[in-house]
Structure 1
Amino acid sequence: MDISKNISNSFVIFIIVIVCLIFTVNINLVDITIMEARNFVTAREMLLENNWLMPTFNGEPRYQKPPLPTWISAISTLIAGTKTLYFLRIPGFLCLALIGITTYYFSLELLKNKIYSIVNSFIAITSFYTIAIIIEAPWDIFSHSFMYLAIYFIYKNLNNQKYYFKEILLIILFIACSFLSKGPVSVYALLIPFLISYFISYPISIGKKLARILPIIIAGILIGSSWYIMLLFQDSENLISTTRKETLNWANYNIRPFYYYWSFFIQSGVWAIIGLISLSYPYYKHKIKSYKEYKFTFLWTVIGVILLSLIPEKKPRYLMPVLIPFALNIGFIYRYLISEYNKNKSAKIFLFVHYLLICSIGLSFIIVKLYIFNLSINFIDIILSILSPLILLKLINIKFLTIKKINIISLLIIILSISNSPTLILKTNKDYKSVKNLNSDELEFYTNYLISPEIIWDFGKKITRLNDLELRKITQNRKKFGMLTKDPITTKDTLINKLNYTIELISKHDLNSTSKKSRLITYYHLFTPN
């Protein structure tokens, strides 16, 4: 009996969304990151200043990133407020769900099989950096999820003889949304590799298809560029300055060798072993039934890595878009290994190592908490400690579960482990002290250095940065005010000590919950006129 016939697409979408929301169960245990803080502070200032088109960060123009993710964060703030990070992070996880849903429908186009498509979608949403990017760099997940959806409709358009006006509009819309999320990044890292790999894998009527699809893509890019065009007229000086700085970073900042990304498969996390095997294209190309589709996803992955490697500036998170076609590629080999489990010794060994890794992860939570960190266990820990030994029993050849059931159990372990991983974060800094209690309407606060975004977020409102001249002007008002400084003010600070103010060091504030980062430490001084 083919159970896939009884599975509706809407049910699959529901399950993918629910799984992505399960990932958020303990997400409040994760401290805000510097990139999140920049996004959320900008969103907060959008609401306070009612300035949606020319975003600011701590009162200064913030044009490094387009505004769509910040608009979405601002809407989340309007709905849920800013007392918890949870609701501000939910849009990112919904974008993760969008990647899972798109993978499902894309796989249906490639494979015409619902079960295979569901497996591919779960590989995509459980790959390590696809999830980590939501917290580390919120803009990326928006940009890549929108572009991926656009690529799905481009793929359908290229394979259809007829023009579908609705699909054309959706391609334009989602390319524009991607461009409004992080500029041309997804065009370069996801769309261009897709087009190259598609036309290599399906070299039929290339000129005709390009003539049909390129104007649609260009239309999406032009609409997505509308924000930049608006800024050219409204604030060209700051836009040009920001663009010049960002462009210089690509060539001069965080420079890494060409081969830096060659270990990209590790970013898929628990799928890394099968991911590495899936790159053995010459060996598996005649073993996979859907040979052309396997070739297509393999080329899409490899070309993406090559194009990213050409850019001098390299960071691990820049690899995230490669994990999207890589999930499709892994799916081919994963299904092949499962089908060959009882026939092929190498397939059994590869899956044995894969399942052993998953089993170890599942069991590690309760072991680490009880015997290393001395933490209390939760309900998820107990479930994981029950499910993980089931895989272990299969591995030692006790045949009470089929390989298909083991796959379902392994996916459950992966999902629960992702949800449970924040509970292993130890808040070890006894000196932790927030700055949010300093915020009041009675006292103005300033800073004299480039203060950390996390501190600005925690404070709850803008902290104006003053240069020497601005500080002199402020003190002419002879009003009491607060100052957050990088270091305690000493007698060596001759300018500050000549202001005819009594300067009192009130408190040290350390926002580090674990490791010590100097940028998360600030000193509160009270300036009182003599």
Structure 2
Amino acid sequence: MIDLVKKRPILTIITVVALLLLPFLDVMEVTIMEARNFITAREMLTDDNWILTTMNGEARYQKPPLPTWLTALSAMLFGIKSTWALRLPAVLMVMLLGSMLYTLSRKLTLDKSHSLYNGLIGVTSLYVILIVFEAPWDIYAHAFMLVGIYSIVQIFRKDTISWAYGLLAIVGIGCSVLSKGPVSAYALLLPFLISYGIIFRTSTTAKKWLLFVGLLLVGLAVGFSWYLYVRYADPETFAAITSKETGNWTSYNVRPFYYYWSFFVQSGLWTVPAFIGLLYPYLKTRVSNLKVYQFTLLWTLVAVVLLSVIPEKKSRYLMPVLIPLAMNTGFYIEYLIRRFKELKDKRETIPVYFSFGIIGIVFIGASIFGLYLLFTEKPIEVPIITYVFYGSLSVIGILLLKKLYQKSIEQVFVLLTIGLIALIYSLGTLHAENKIASKNHFEFDGFFKGLNIDKSTPIYAYKKTSPEMIWARGAKIPIINSLKELKGNDVIYIIDCEWCGELIENDPYIDTFKNAGSYLIDLNYEGLDYKNRKVGYVYKLIKRE
């Protein structure tokens, strides 16, 4: 089986991503960040706002449009209400990221097996998986930038200039900037260039660097073309949004310099191997390719330092660090696969037994605990396949511990990947059934039916509402600041958010209308991460005679 996997490495990476993410892509609730992006994609389709992007009818220039274009195209094919369709492009970007990790590793002269380990570590890292369900556009920016970096390495390492790779570099850099501005250029490309320039300085000519500068400038021009157009077409709004966004870099989510120092934890399953892979004095005499190891290590550390100097910090901003970290961790995994059976020093073997052994125990423990709850409490009816997945976790955990005892690290690596898939399937099927069984969840469709009104009936928001509400509405929710704005209407429906209190009752013009009743809309699922912003009251107000 392992030999078959190695023969088709890119297909293997794509298959693993597909198994991990596609089956339960629509199970997780739409998050606030997703709702913003999905609304913008919807308004591209309904209002034709493909260039001057909007959210709830108002300009939204905070993020460039390429990921939203791809999301809108997917929605056009599979349905605008399909969460699965809206998340699909992000999954394709994870597949691209893993494939490029493999091809870049190969170009850096690592063998097929080692390159495959790098790709699989990358796509099974914790935050690479989670980022799909948060739907920030980071995954697009970094996947496209990795295409650009791979093309640059091709140009640097070939004796003759390849204009095909030059064009691919422009496309990769341009698409990255069109996905999230200069974020990836700073967090991924710049540390790559610094590290490559230091480690491989003697093997890259000045002519190649000059060519790269030209390609970079053209790629940035392509990427920033949207910004230039929006600045020309809507200068006042663009300036106001840009000023607010740049101000956030120094005043919003400000964290200390050392906030990112636990970055290796973001790799999830690979936390301990990732940390050991950073221990240069230990690994420098053990890796298969010292120069490339030095490069991936420096690339990782420079990326962390560059991100650390920016005052605004969020966990997801570490996503680009996981790319060189996966390659760096691959050196340690490759060393264990190659030499672990020969190791006698307990200082080398104990961390391996601990890190992989604890995961095997977690698989078994999750299986036992899950089956115990399913057989004893049975809070909901679940399909038989859920029991199968939870049971398989025990089998995988036991096999993993057995192979670890036999020092077959390559088989342990495979079982870790399979175990992660089984764990996600176990949680995914249970979460799906919880979602179906939820009694509190109330869709907007139910509101329309309950009041016997048409979906085209306007619904307004009083002073504010959440992106999740706008997304669930299926159309825009115009925001008003006073009932005076709607005095001419005979009947109006207004959402007053739960966390706002009874603000509508204190409006100076409330006496102009009589309240025909308020109706609760709760977009939360019972027992699943309850949020006040997803609850509101819809008032039916009738104009007094």
The alignment's TM-score, normalised by the length of structure 2, stands at: 0.90
Q: Which amino acid aligns with 1:275?
A: A
Q: CA RMSD for the aligned pairs?
A: 2.2
8 Å CA contact 2:105, 2:327 repeated in 1: yes
2:504 corresponds to 1:522: no
Relative contact order (C-alpha < 8 Å, sep 6+): which is higher? 1
**Partner of residue 216, structure 2:** 217
2:442 corresponds to 1:433: yes
2:457 is aligned, of 416, 440, 443, to: 443
2:17 corresponds to 1:20: yes
Provide the rounded CA distance (Å) in 2 between the counterparts of 1:28 and 1:133: 14
* 1:7 to partner: Cα distance: 5.4
How many residues matched? Answer: 519
Q: Which amino acid aligns with 2:486?
A: I
8 Å CA contact 1:363, 1:384 repeated in 2: yes
Provide the rounded CA distance (Å) in 2 between the counterparts of 1:162 and 1:36: 44
2:377 corresponds to 1:379: no
Q: Secondary structure at the match of 1:288?
A: coil
Q: Which amino acid aligns with 1:286?
A: T
**Partner of residue 462, structure 1:** 476
* 1:135 to partner: Cα distance: 1.4
Q: Taking structure 1 as reference, are residues 300 and 343 closer, same or farther at Cα in structure 2, changes over 3 Å only?
A: same
* 1:491 to partner: Cα distance: 8.2
Q: Secondary structure at the match of 2:517?
A: strand
2:52 is aligned, of 51, 54, 62, to: 54
**Partner of residue 310, structure 1:** 309
Q: Which amino acid aligns with 1:453?
A: P
Q: Which amino acid aligns with 1:348?
A: T
Q: Secondary structure at the match of 1:433?
A: coil
Q: Taking structure 1 as reference, are residues 158 and 490 closer, same or farther at Cα in structure 2, changes over 3 Å only?
A: closer
* 1:423 to partner: Cα distance: 4.1
Provide the rounded CA distance (Å) in 2 between the counterparts of 1:277 and 1:457: 44
Q: Which amino acid aligns with 1:474?
A: L
Q: How does 1:91-490 map to 2 (within 5 A)?
A: 91-204=89-202, 205=204, 207-344=206-343, 345=345, 346-372=347-373, 374=377, 376=382, 377-395=386-404, 397=405, 399=406, 402-423=408-429, 425=431, 430-439=439-448, 440-441=454-455, 443-468=457-482, 471-476=483-488, 478-487=489-498, 489=502
Provide the rounded CA distance (Å) in 2 between the counterparts of 1:415 and 1:57: 35
Provide the rounded CA distance (Å) in 2 between the counterparts of 1:419 and 1:170: 37
Q: Secondary structure at the match of 2:542?
A: strand
Q: Secondary structure at the match of 2:493?
A: strand
Provide the rounded CA distance (Å) in 2 between the counterparts of 1:474 and 1:300: 58
* 1:32 to partner: Cα distance: 0.7
Provide the rounded CA distance (Å) in 1 between the counterparts of 2:103 and 2:316: 25
Q: Which amino acid aligns with 2:367?
A: I
Q: Taking structure 1 as reference, are residues 442 and 417 closer, same or farther at Cα in structure 2, changes over 3 Å only?
A: closer
Provide the rounded CA distance (Å) in 1 between the counterparts of 2:445 and 2:256: 42
Provide the rounded CA distance (Å) in 1 between the counterparts of 2:48 and 2:275: 49
1:71-96 per-residue CA deviation (whole Å, 9 max, x = no partner) reads 11110111011332111111111100
Q: Which amino acid aligns with 2:510?
A: N
Provide the rounded CA distance (Å) in 2 between the counterparts of 1:125 and 1:83: 27
**Partner of residue 87, structure 1:** 85
Provide the rounded CA distance (Å) in 2 between the counterparts of 1:496 and 1:87: 43
Provide the rounded CA distance (Å) in 2 between the counterparts of 1:459 and 1:270: 39
Provide the rounded CA distance (Å) in 2 between the counterparts of 1:119 and 1:7: 10
* 1:433 to partner: Cα distance: 2.3
Q: Secondary structure at the match of 1:526?
A: strand
Provide the rounded CA distance (Å) in 2 between the counterparts of 1:260 and 1:268: 16
1:25-71 per-residue CA deviation (whole Å, 9 max, x = no partner) reads 12322111111111111111111001211111001001110001111
Provide the rounded CA distance (Å) in 2 between the counterparts of 1:436 and 1:299: 53
Q: Which amino acid aligns with 2:294?
A: K
Q: Which amino acid aligns with 2:360?
A: C
8 Å CA contact 1:92, 1:138 repeated in 2: no
Provide the rounded CA distance (Å) in 1 between the counterparts of 2:503 and 2:94: 49
Q: Secondary structure at the match of 1:63?
A: coil
8 Å CA contact 1:275, 1:330 repeated in 2: yes
Provide the rounded CA distance (Å) in 2 between the counterparts of 1:316 and 1:515: 20
Provide the rounded CA distance (Å) in 2 between the counterparts of 1:442 and 1:333: 59
Q: Which amino acid aligns with 2:70?
A: I
8 Å CA contact 2:496, 2:537 repeated in 1: yes
**Partner of residue 451, structure 2:** none
- Of residues 29-38 and 182-191 in structure 1, the stretch that sits farther from structure 2 once superposed is 29-38
Provide the rounded CA distance (Å) in 1 between the counterparts of 2:371 and 2:365: 10
Provide the rounded CA distance (Å) in 2 between the counterparts of 1:364 and 1:459: 41
Provide the rounded CA distance (Å) in 2 between the counterparts of 1:490 and 1:170: 55
Provide the rounded CA distance (Å) in 1 between the counterparts of 2:214 and 2:180: 21
2:524 corresponds to 1:512: yes
Provide the rounded CA distance (Å) in 2 between the counterparts of 1:65 and 1:59: 16
1:362-393 per-residue CA deviation (whole Å, 9 max, x = no partner) reads 22442232334745434322322222111223
8 Å CA contact 1:111, 1:117 repeated in 2: no
Provide the rounded CA distance (Å) in 2 between the counterparts of 1:367 and 1:135: 27
Provide the rounded CA distance (Å) in 1 between the counterparts of 2:109 and 2:348: 22
* 1:341 to partner: Cα distance: 1.5
1:273-301 per-residue CA deviation (whole Å, 9 max, x = no partner) reads 00011110122112223000000000000
8 Å CA contact 1:58, 1:463 repeated in 2: yes
Q: Taking structure 1 as reference, are residues 46 and 134 closer, same or farther at Cα in structure 2, changes over 3 Å only?
A: same
The alignment's TM-score, normalised by the length of structure 1, stands at: 0.93
Runs of at least 5 residues in structure 2 that lack an aligned partner in the other structure: 449-453
1:91-150 per-residue CA deviation (whole Å, 9 max, x = no partner) reads 111100001100111111123411111111100000000111111243111111000111
Percent identity, aligned pairs only, is 38
8 Å CA contact 1:432, 1:512 repeated in 2: yes
